[in-house]
Amino acid sequence: MEVIALIKKKKNLLLSQYNQNAETKAYMIEVSLEDYSELFNGWDASPLKRKELEPELLDYLERASSDIPLNEVVDLCFYLPKDNRNNDKEQRTITSIVNNFKVEMHVIDKFLKRNYRRLVSYIILAILFLIGAYLLRNIVGLSLLTNIMTEGFFIGGWFLLWEAFSLFFFDTHEVKIRKRLFQRLLNAYIYFKDAKE
């Protein structure tokens, strides 16, 4: 009973922060604009199709998306004054927004691949260090220098295993969540509406 009440309370809190699309039941991330150019980085001179989103907007969309549970669907709704709306610009802007999300996904994928390569390297080096330490330990008549090397190999091996563990369970996990957030934004229904009076 308490779990159901807690879920309802959380859903009510979510509804108080984000409106829900009556037709699709998706949570709406809403942004008010005066002009289409506010969506894009003012320093980017690329054509609209390849323009970079305003970093603050991208950050806002990511934070808003992270507020909403990942199992929920989101819509991106942009409000513009009725006089400033243009269907052609809206379609090109939507294409540009989707392209930006694809670029973010590509960057995240590259980062994950780099992390996996580092993970494999750490594990291989850790195993080599630990095997070397155990082999050195079994040599009879060890000198002080060999003892120091053995301890160094043990420390290095365990340190590299910890780094691999940390990389896999902490760093990579956060990046995977970020990837899911951007995947949801990429799949979101994006549309423009007349600004509320």
pLDDT tens, position by position, 124-142:
999 999 998 888 777 756 6
Integer Cα distance of 196 and 109 in angstroms: 38
What is the rounded (10 degree) CA torsion for 171, 172, 173, 177? Answer: 110
pLDDT at 138: 77
What is the rounded (10 degree) CA torsion for 95, 66, 54, 89? Answer: 30
Number of Cα atoms under 13 Å in the Cβ half of residue 80: 18
Lowest mean pLDDT among 14-18, 79-83, 151-155, 174-178: 14-18
- As a whole number, the mean pLDDT across the chain is 85
Residues found in the chain: 197
Average pLDDT over residues 94-111: 92
172 contacts 115 by C-beta, under 8 angstroms: yes
Residue 57 three-state SS = helix
Integer Cα distance of 45 and 52 in angstroms: 9
Average pLDDT over residues 14-39: 84
The residues near 146 (Cβ < 8 Å, ≥ 6 apart) are 136, 139
Single-letter residue type at 48 = L
pLDDT at 126: 94
pLDDT bracket for residue 109 (50, 70, 90): very high
Integer Cα distance of 118 and 120 in angstroms: 6
Token pair recorded at residue 75: 């819509």
Lowest mean pLDDT among 48-57, 61-70, 73-82: 48-57
